[in-house]
């Protein structure tokens, strides 16, 4: 058994009927060189004999009696592949739009906490002959880096039995007495850590306040806890809509080099331009900066495949600025300030305090917040940028051609933009609900418009490089 860390537990407590906190991964397999047919039955057997390496897929949640502590994981539970692995068919004609629609439908359904917290879908019916695999896994199990490392293990599937074996027998379910005894021990450890944590909090707060007083004022950027009021901030519906788009990673690298900014800055600046376009369309104005939550990994160890070791940077996006290059400059400045504040306060400080959340109270609090109409003071939306594999992976000889990933929608924030690089691709994934946009591809269209706008302003070709290893683009339906 192992205790859920504070951040892992919080991602469980956040969940409500209209707020699902799982993540969704979509990998497209090119089966043209696969020896034989990669049928559902073949894939199932490959997965079954590889489960011993995929630890988080065997974790089972166990609640402590009376919710006297955060839940625990049974680390090796029984996995019923007839339940977790499913066969689905994409609608005709079987392109990006149809796969995105299916992914959104899957993303909108909560995971069953009585079972290991994941589902996998093998998709049939793609026009290009590819076999997409959609993995829905609870964020409590793995953050972006851990998911990427887990993906690398999944890509270790072989067509032979040399590295495969039967999964181990399941561990016994702990008794109530064992759970309560473990809770008591862990509470004692937490109490002993508390004086040090209080000292770190005082020190981090003092450093942050000192830096803010010394820093040059930037009225164009959002103040702390002052996100703009926008159409994307409202109580979420339970339904989800998904859209994806592929850009050439080389185009973003070239743009960043030309402007003297990082790829992450270029992604955020592209999002700022897209959000400005969408705000002008839906709200009729874009006159105040947004606050975007940008996850930052605290542990990039290649072998880590479970748990959440992330903090969050609150970055100001200057969507109110019409001038493209000035918007890019202010985006990079906002990101730099957010990173400095994050480090001054202490990257692990918030996650350390999350260990002390009362398990009996937090689901009630978050459930109330999930239906509250008043806008959150923390953020407008989430944008995540995760560096993915630089080499193409394989599953039993089938090449992983494309990969997309998207995180959850948080309470009151009906938009998540998650970006993963994969070899020569930079893949954008958008998650929203069914109340916010007529078509989620409005967001990917706006991202494309904004990136072309940035390249043109930087003196680069507005014609984007075609990525022939990816599905054809899908535009919004008017």
C-alpha to C-alpha distance for 63 and 418, rounded to whole angstroms: 31
CB atoms within 10 A of CB 275: 27
Report yes or no: 461 and 468 within 8 Å, Cβ to Cβ: no
Question: Could you give the 3-state DSSP secondary structure of residue 215?
Answer: coil
C-alpha to C-alpha distance for 352 and 363, rounded to whole angstroms: 19
Positions marked active-site: 139
Q: Which helix (H) or strand (E) holds 382?
A: strand 381-386
Backbone angles phi, psi at 334, to 5 degrees: -60, -40
Sheet-wide strand order for 131-138: 85-89, 118-124, 131-138, 22-30, 398-406, 394-395
Question: Could you give the 3-state DSSP secondary structure of residue 290?
Answer: strand
Question: Could you give the 3-state DSSP secondary structure of residue 403?
Answer: strand
C-alpha to C-alpha distance for 456 and 454, rounded to whole angstroms: 5
- Residue 142, strand partner residues: 307
Report yes or no: 403 and 420 within 8 Å, Cβ to Cβ: yes
User: Which candidate, 204, 203, 219, places its Cα nearest to that of 342?
Assistant: 204
What's the number of CA atoms in the CB half-sphere (13 Å) around residue 448?
21
| Residue-wise DSSP of 80-94 | -HHHHEEEEEPPTT-
Structure token pair of residue 446: 């706006």
Question: Could you give the 3-state DSSP secondary structure of residue 139?
Answer: coil
Contacts of 322 (CB under 8 A, 6+ apart): none
**Taking the C-alpha atoms of 188, 194, 197 and 199 in order, what is their torsion angle to the nearest 10 degrees?**
-150
């Amino acid at each position: 058994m192992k205790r859920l860390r504070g951040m892992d537990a919080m991602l469980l407590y956040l969940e409500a009927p209209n707020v699902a906190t799982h993540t969704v991964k979509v990998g497209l397999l090119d089966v043209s060189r696969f020896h034989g047919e990669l049928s559902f039955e073949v894939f199932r057997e490959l997965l079954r004999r590889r489960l011993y390496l995929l630890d988080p897929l065997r974790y089972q949640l166990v609640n402590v009696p009376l919710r006297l502590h955060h839940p625990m994981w049974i680390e090796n539970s029984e996995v019923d592949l007839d339940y977790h692995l499913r066969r689905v068919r994409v609608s005709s004609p079987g392109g990006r739009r149809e796969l995105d629609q299916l992914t959104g439908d899957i993303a909108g359904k909560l995971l069953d906490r009585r079972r290991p917290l994941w589902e996998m879908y093998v998709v049939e019916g793609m026009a290009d002959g590819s076999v997409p695999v959609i993995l829905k896994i609870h964020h409590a199990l793995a953050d972006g880096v851990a998911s990427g490392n887990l993906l690398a293990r999944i890509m270790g599937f072989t067509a032979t039995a040399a590295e495969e074996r039967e999964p181990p027998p399941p561990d016994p379910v702990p008794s109530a007495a064992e759970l309560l005894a473990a809770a008591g021990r862990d509470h004692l450890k937490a109490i002993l850590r508390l004086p040090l944590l209080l000292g770190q909090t005082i020190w981090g707060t003092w450093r942050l306040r000192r830096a803010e007083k010394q820093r040059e004022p930037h009225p164009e950027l959002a103040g702390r806890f002052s996100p703009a009021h926008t159409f994307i901030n409202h109580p979420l519906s339970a339904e989800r809509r998904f859209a994806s788009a592929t850009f050439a990673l080389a185009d973003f690298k070239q743009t960043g080099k030309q402007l003297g900014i990082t790829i992450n800055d270029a992604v955020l600046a592209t999002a700022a331009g897209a959000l400005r376009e969408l705000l002008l369309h839906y709200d009729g104005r874009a006159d105040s900066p947004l606050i975007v939550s940008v996850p930052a990994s605290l542990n990039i160890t290649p072998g880590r495949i479970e748990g959440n070791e992330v903090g969050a940077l609150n970055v100001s996006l200057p969507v109110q600025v019409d001038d493209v290059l000035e918007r890019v400059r202010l985006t990079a400045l906002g990101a730099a300030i957010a990173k400095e504040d994050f480090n001054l306060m202490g990257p692990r400080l918030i996650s350390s305090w999350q260990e002390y959340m009362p398990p009996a109270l937090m689901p009630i609090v978050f459930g109330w917040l999930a239906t509250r109409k008043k806008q959150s003071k923390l953020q407008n939306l989430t944008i995540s940028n995760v560096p993915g594999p630089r080499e193409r992976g394989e599953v039993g000889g089938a090449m992983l051609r494309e990969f997309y990933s998207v995180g959850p929608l948080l309470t009151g924030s009906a938009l998540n933009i998650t970006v993963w690089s994969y070899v020569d691709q930079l893949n954008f994934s958008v998650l929203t609900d069914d109340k916010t946009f007529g078509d989620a591809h409005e967001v990917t269209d706006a991202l494309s418009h904004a990136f072309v706008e940035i390249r043109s302003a930087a003196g680069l070709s507005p014609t984007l490089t075609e990525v022939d290893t990816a599905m054809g683009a899908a535009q919004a339906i008017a």
